[in-house]
Structure 1
Amino acid sequence: MSADTISQSEAARRAGVSRSAIQKHLASGRIISDGNRVDLASFNEWLNLKKEAQTGVQPPLPPEVQPPPEVAPQVVTLNCSSSPDLEPAAGSLLDMKSALLLEQNAKARIKQLDFDQRSGSVVEIAVVTARVGKEYAAVRRKLLALPAEHAPSIHRCKTVADVQERLRVLITRALEELTADGGSTIPTGV
């Protein structure tokens, strides 16, 4: 047995890794082997590189930690009826009863929102935005089509008052048709 080599098991123990990890590094050439044994010089070089790479990754172990002086916990009393969005101030501590109450209130609000969504009293903003956009597009199309469709009848008008009255009638009729076609624009079951 050569003094310049160590076993794979010993290398794994010294590095704090598994034997299969050492074998992977041997296969990749990061560590040089002498048959089934690990070359001690290449192992030590690899181990130093590994330690340098890990410096700063994990904080060094702190010196023996002394328990903090006893501080009386700050108790926050919650009044659920005053504000449904009541949350503790940053850095304040809650007693167990208050923390449980806060958790129960949050769960209840989530269940209420879920119920409201299923019942249709609350809808997602994306659904409303899409529907309103479609309605505006339909109104725009209808109003922009009026000049092309009714230019001959507007042309026959004799006075400005006649043109204004004709346009008012056409626009009113177009908007009434859109209202009759649209009905309810937001689905209640979404």
Structure 2
Amino acid sequence: MSSDTITQSEAARRAGVSRTTIQKHLASGRIIADGSRVNLVSFNEWLETRDDAQQGVQPDVQPPLHPRVQPAPTVAPEPAQDANCASTQNNQPQLMPFNVARTLEQNAKARLKQLEFDERSKEVVEVALVAAAIGKEYAAVRRKLLALPAEHAPSIHRCKTVADVQERLRVLITRALEELTADGGSTLPKGV
């Protein structure tokens, strides 16, 4: 089996057509056959020149899921002075090749599907849910710590030195934080 050929089924999958369509193009000579297999070079040439290409079809080589996209330049380049560059002189926008656009679209769809899967499997959680849960946790800590002076003012008042006050406060704050930790009533979503 040669690496320069692919099966008719694989060619049909890559082109987004039926196997019968590939066989018709083989019979007409638009695609070259190598026995019952499809010549990869002629297939790729045919694939690039076809008018009826379908959207959302797998490319012949899987691109990486997270391509590094360069940001667009903020300053427009100077128009070329060469007469061969008429499209830039006429301020015509440069179009993206179809295969590149199709690959970018497929990558975006793949990233969305991965995100949906991660959300269902609780690998990722909405930021708003996490922020709300953390806000509730902070509110509980705040309430507990702000209640300390009112609850323990008499015992702190009995302290004789600054060191005694500091030690008493350290013990009370530590105990309050340990109680909050021991509550086990975390309001954080699962997986956080």
Q: How far apart, in 1, do the equivalents of 2:118 and 2:130 lie?
A: 15
Q: Among residues 77, 80, 86, which one is paired with 2:69 in the alignment?
A: 86
Q: TM-score, normalised by structure 2?
A: 0.51
1:44-59 to 2 correspondences below 5 Å: none
Q: Which residue of 1 aligns with 2:26?
A: none
* More RCO (CA 8 Å, sep 6+): 2
Residues 157/82 of structure 1: CA separation in 2 closer, same or farther (3 Å cut): same
Comparing 79-88 with 162-171, greater Cα deviation is found at 79-88
Q: How far apart, in 1, do the equivalents of 2:103 and 2:123 lie?
A: 27
Residues 109/85 of structure 1: CA separation in 2 closer, same or farther (3 Å cut): farther
Pairs aligned (count): 113
Q: Which residue of 1 aligns with 2:181?
A: 179
Amino acid at match of 1:116: D
Please list every run of 5 or more consecutive structure 1 residues that lacks an aligned counterpart in the other structure. Answer: 1-78
Deviations 1:52-91 (A, max 9, x none): xxxxxxxxxxxxxxxxxxxxxxxxxxx9449436389594
RMSD: 3.0
Q: Which residue of 2 aligns with 1:130?
A: 132
Q: How far apart, in 2, do the equivalents of 1:112 and 1:82 lie?
A: 10
Residues 117/153 of structure 1: CA separation in 2 closer, same or farther (3 Å cut): same
Is the 1:154–1:163 Cα contact (8 Å) retained in structure 2?
yes
1:148-159 to 2 correspondences below 5 Å: 148-159=150-161
Instruction: Give the CA deviation at 1:105.
Output: 0.5
Q: How far apart, in 2, do the equivalents of 1:100 and 1:163 lie?
A: 70
Q: How far apart, in 2, do the equivalents of 1:80 and 1:89 lie?
A: 21
Deviations 1:96-153 (A, max 9, x none): 2222211111100000111111122211111111111111111110001001111111
Q: Which residue of 2 aligns with 1:17?
A: none
**Secondary structure of 1:105 counterpart:** helix
Q: Which residue of 1 aligns with 2:141?
A: 139
**Secondary structure of 2:190 counterpart:** coil
Residues 85/92 of structure 1: CA separation in 2 closer, same or farther (3 Å cut): farther
Q: Which residue of 2 aligns with 1:166?
A: 168
Amino acid at match of 1:152: P
